[in-house]
């Protein structure tokens, strides 16, 4: 799952792949601003066929938070 999220970060936000680690902070370490965040969320929803709410995404701070959220949403689908 991490590799898929990493690929989306590279594609959506032009993030350098060497900087993407589970502990990397989306804003501080990867420079993902609100515009990139919206694009990333839309891409995650499309790629994984999931729906996210504002409550789901407001506390996302790290790459691992994104991975955990996507995994949780995929489990809810089953």
Residue 46 Cα distances to 18, 42, 43, 57, angstroms: 25, 6, 5, 15
Q: For residue 33, indicate whether it is catalytic.
A: yes
Q: Which position among 16, 17, 29, 33 bears the catalytic label?
A: 33
Q: What DSSP assignment string belongs to 41-54?
A: HHHHHHHHT----H
Which residues are catalytically annotated? 33
């Amino acid at each position: 799952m991490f590799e898929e999220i990493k690929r989306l970060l590279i594609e959506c936000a032009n993030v350098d792949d060497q900087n993407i680690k589970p502990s990397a902070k989306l804003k501080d370490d990867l420079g993902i601003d609100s515009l990139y965040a919206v694009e990333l969320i839309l891409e995650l929803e499309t790629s994984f066929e999931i729906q996210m709410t504002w409550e789901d995404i407001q506390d996302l701070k790290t790459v691992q938070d994104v991975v955990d959220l996507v995994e949780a949403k995929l489990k809810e689908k089953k």
